[in-house]
Structure 1
Amino acid sequence: MFGKFKRFFAVAGVSTLLAACQIIPGGNTGPANTPAPEPTPSQSTLPQDEARHRVALLVPLTGTNAGVGQSIANATTMALLDTNADNLRITTYDTAKGAKTAADRAVADGNKLILGPLLGDNVPSVLAAAAPANVPLISFSNDVSVASSDVFVMGHIPEQSVARTVDYAMSQGSRRFAALTPKGEYGDRAAKALAKAVEARGGQMVASQSYDRGNSFIISAAKKLSAQGGFDTVLIADGARLSAIAAAQLKKAGDDLPHILGTELWSGEASIANAAALRGAWFSSVPDARYRRFVESYEARFGSKPYRIATLGYDSVLLTLRIARDWKPGRNFPVSRLKASDGFIGLDGIFRFGPDGVGERGMETRQIGNGTVSVVAPAPDKFKN
């Protein structure tokens, strides 16, 4: 599989706030993609596949998140083409018109694996249709609360980003931490992740402030946090623009402290490189090197930029193809093979699923410079245990 996967790179050479499972990050600045046609029941239209696995892709193709869903669908098509896969039939179903309806149709059409849904809120509805038929889900959500023995969460987990960055910060001398987080689920998760990571590594949580999202609110919260003092490092769990505004309030001109930490939300945001207040800041995310090649290929094929989350669609196909080596068409999907300890590799680097169904990823830590973003702690190329 990896040999086939490398062919993608040759093709590629020629060719904001994520609130857990609810708000989808941007990144598509090109023209809107044309929605895929609505699938029809297989009883009359889909051929009988004796040599191919039927796999359902459940994403929104209409409504608010249609662009994201189409981007993921396009990425799955790319993966099939780049690997010359001829043993999978992937049929797309629109969850925006009803997640349960889409799942019912996917199961009735004989699909043995569901890639999706995109939103964690849709998982219960999809699972209600899939579980009785022994059809597992590989969800693109990052909501760990929906993970189970039948639901594998493939999204990038903010808690893992925070923990990785705290590791690096403490290796550089950070000991006393503070949190500046937006109100809501994402901010709550980031704050708890910071406190847990700091405590586990022998550091100390000194202060925290939450805020309603917006320029004036984050400035006010940053001033309050600064007045409390006593910390040498601050996590700002927001996108690049608001993080830069807050950092300017926390750091006096010429001062190196406090160290500023970000989350995976900064990944792919070009503006961070030129934000003077963020110089020296650290954040962790999945590796971006392969993503840049993916973008080139995607733009050549579809005429627009993909959403950052589209790589999950591509990697879910690579994952399925690896398992399909020993998976006979028509049989139930071998769920146990998703829990391989050595994991899988894709555009976003290495990943594997734990016993709880939550995806674990190898992340790199980056540092913001003067117009640059550099890797200061590379992502691992394999899991240690």
Structure 2
Amino acid sequence: MFAFFNRLRKAARRAVLPVAALALAACDPAALGGLGGVAGGGGGPRIDTAKPVPVALLVPRGSGQPSDELLANNLENAARLAMRDLNGVQIDLRVYGTAGNAQTAASQAAQAVNDGAQIIVGPLYAEAANAAGVAVAPQNVNVLAFSNNTTIAGGNVFVLGSTFANTANRLVSYAASQGKDRVVVVHAQDVAGQLGRNAIQQAISRSGATLVGTVDYPLSQQGVVSAVPRVKAAVDGAAANAVFMTATTSAGLPLLSQLLPEAGVTPATTQFVGITRWDIPPQTLELPGVQGGWFALPDPNRAGAFRSQYQAAYGSAPHPLAGLAFDGIAAIGALVAQGNAGALTGSALTQGSGFQGASGIFRLRPDGTNERGLAVATVRDNQVIVIDPAPRAFGGAGF
């Protein structure tokens, strides 16, 4: 059993290490210094939509890390893929390497604007995105960062990465609609776990559900094991009918999903819900404890179409984060196509109707965060089954 968990964890690290690195970089508020409010939310340059629009793409090239180089190439490929679908809009894409660090990101962002860039797509890591935003704020240039860190969002920085808040809102709302409205939150004591907990608690407060318990644990095998009796007590003591977990497939989820049923917290009476992806890596779907559990994921049809398009163009599957670069270019192209000289201002970027991206609809919010159309899925017979489809437009199901 534990040998299987070890294999799963190793596979998960290979599959999603860059995603985990992004999450960790995006979850250290003390290291960031918060950008919010550096530039006005409606700011941005005026452009000539009849001419090619200079766009800077900041990628983590030059760090010397193979994972960063792979991701940099995938992000650039996805951006160029999006440019093929812009129906006459011309983008002058200029690519800059950040070496994965904040100082280089700031200098490259400033250089990009000096070179004529009118908007920046990227960079990846939160500190780098924060630094880039500060560097170009005096020039009234907006930044569409690949980070999912909402602490850097605001002013001239918009985050494209999927956020805990977006996922929690979708899942809590769906759970409440299904009568799973008495919630125990189970989370690790690290920063990511705390941010996930906060997102779930805030979503509960807006949904009509009730938070009946919270159980935390040190991020270790023994920490997870020792938390199980406390989860059991919290569920029984408050008659909870849902357990929301922040655990990832590479840290905590395999143990929790196995030990909780063994302790008597069974999916038959208590719905397991996760705010991380339970289908990455695919081996996770084999775990007995996740059968019947709920999690959120991007629109499978749109995401599948993007994967196929990318594979056909470049001969390999895209990195899980590559679609963020596609989204940034797609949003810019859609706005420029309207012929509005203010297409790259904050007020235009935050249009309520949003955009069609690599994995479905999304929109940028005035506070610099984003909202994405997500499907709710369950695991049944080791397969992902969508039980509530992603919305096709804002204002529909799940919003």
Common topology (TM > 0.5): yes
Question: What TM-score comes out, normalization by structure 1 length?
Answer: 0.81
Q: 1:56·1:93 contact (CA, 8 Å) conserved in 2?
A: yes
CA shift in 2, pair 1:52/1:187, >3 Å: same
Report the number of matched residues: 345
Which residue does the alignment assign to 1:360? 371
Per-residue deviation at 1:323?
1.3
Q: How does 1:231-246 map to 2 (within 5 A)?
A: 231-240=240-249, 242-246=252-256
User: Could you tell me the TM-score, scaled by structure 2's length?
Assistant: 0.79
| Matches of 1:333 and 1:111, distance apart in 2 | 11
Whether 1:74 and 2:77 are equivalent positions in the alignment is yes
Please state if 1:229 is matched with 2:240. no
Counterpart for residue 356 of structure 2:
345
> Is 1:91 matched up with 2:97?
no
Q: Structure 2: 5+ residue runs without aligned partners?
A: 1-15, 27-48
- Counterpart of 2:55 in structure 1 is 55
Find the counterpart in structure 1 of residue 304 from structure 2.
292
1:117 matched to 2:120: no
**Any residues of structure 2 matched to 1:119-198 within 5 Å, and which?**
119-198=125-204
1:253-296, Cα deviation, whole Å (9 max, x unpaired) = 87613211011433543223322111110111221222223223
Q: CA deviation at 1:320?
A: 0.9
Give the aligned residue type for 1:217.
G
User: Do 1:284 and 1:365's aligned partners in 2 also have CA atoms closer than 8 Å?
Assistant: yes
One-letter amino acid of the structure 2 residue matched with residue 59 of structure 1:
V
1:351 is paired with a residue of what secondary structure?
Answer: strand
Q: Percent identity?
A: 27
CA contact under 8 A between 2:327 and 2:358: conserved in structure 1? Answer: yes
Partner Cα distance (2:243, 2:343) in 1:
48
1:210-235 alpha-carbon deviations (Å, 9 max, x no partner): 23334333232233322443322111
Q: 1:103 Cα shift?
A: 0.9
Alignment of 1:23-62 (within 5 A): 23=25, 51-62=51-62
Q: Indicate if the aligned counterparts of 1:235 and 1:261 stay in contact, CA closer than 8 A.
A: yes
CA distance in 1 between counterparts of 2:267 and 2:161 reads 36
Secondary structure in structure 1 of the residue aligned to 2:329: helix
Alpha-carbon distance between aligned partners in 2 of 1:274 and 1:248, rounded to the nearest angstrom? 11
- Tell me the distance in 2 between the aligned counterparts of 1:93 and 1:214: 39
Pairing partner for 2:324 from 306, 312, 328: 312
Over residues 324-354 of structure 1, what are the superposed CA-to-partner deviations in whole Å (9 max), with x where a residue is unaligned? 124589x883332112111111122111122
Change (3 A) 1:20 1:234: farther
Contact 2:53 2:91 (C-alpha < 8 Å) held by counterparts: yes
User: What residue number does 2:3 align with?
Assistant: none
Q: Secondary structure at the match of 1:229?
A: helix
Counterpart CA distance in 1 for 2:391 and 2:267 is 32
Which has the higher mean CA deviation after the structures are superposed, 215-224 or 137-146?
A: 215-224
How many angstroms does 1:187 deviate by? 0.9
User: Does the Cα contact within 8 Å between 1:60 and 1:70 map onto a contact in 2?
Assistant: no
**2:256 is the counterpart of 1:250:** no
Q: Judging changes above 3 Å, is the alpha-carbon distance between structure 1 residues 167 and 328 closer, same or farther for their aligned structure 2 residues?
A: closer
Could you say if the C-alpha distance between residues 305 and 299 of structure 1 is closer, same or farther in structure 2, counting changes exceeding 3 Å? same
3-state SS in 2 of match to 1:246: helix
How far apart, in 1, do the equivalents of 2:346 and 2:96 lie?
22
Match of 2:389 among 371, 378, 384: 378
Residues 232-241 or 187-196, more deviating: 232-241
1:71–1:310 CA contact under 8 A, matched in 2: yes
Instruction: Give 2:295's aligned residue.
Output: 283
Measured after TM superposition, the shift of residue 188 of structure 1 is 0.9
Q: Following TM superposition, by how much is the alpha carbon of 1:23 offset from its aligned partner in structure 2, in angstroms?
A: 4.8
Q: Following TM superposition, by how much is the alpha carbon of 1:185 offset from its aligned partner in structure 2, in angstroms?
A: 2.3
| Higher mean C-alpha deviation, range 264-273 or range 57-66 | 264-273
Alpha-carbon distance in structure 1 between the residues aligned to 2:124 and 2:245? 26
CA positional deviation for 1:146: 1.6
Distance in 2 between the 1:70 and 1:261 partners? 34
Structure 2: distance between partners of 1:239 and 1:94: 30
Provide the rounded CA distance (Å) in 2 between the counterparts of 1:219 and 1:186: 19
Q: 2:108: which partner in 1?
A: 102
Cα offset for 1:197?
Answer: 2.1
- Equivalent AA in structure 1 for residue 244 of structure 2: L
- Taking a change above 3 Å as real, the CA distance of residues 302 and 222 of structure 1, as seen in their structure-2 partners, is farther
Distance change (3 Å), C-alpha of 1:153 and 1:121:
same
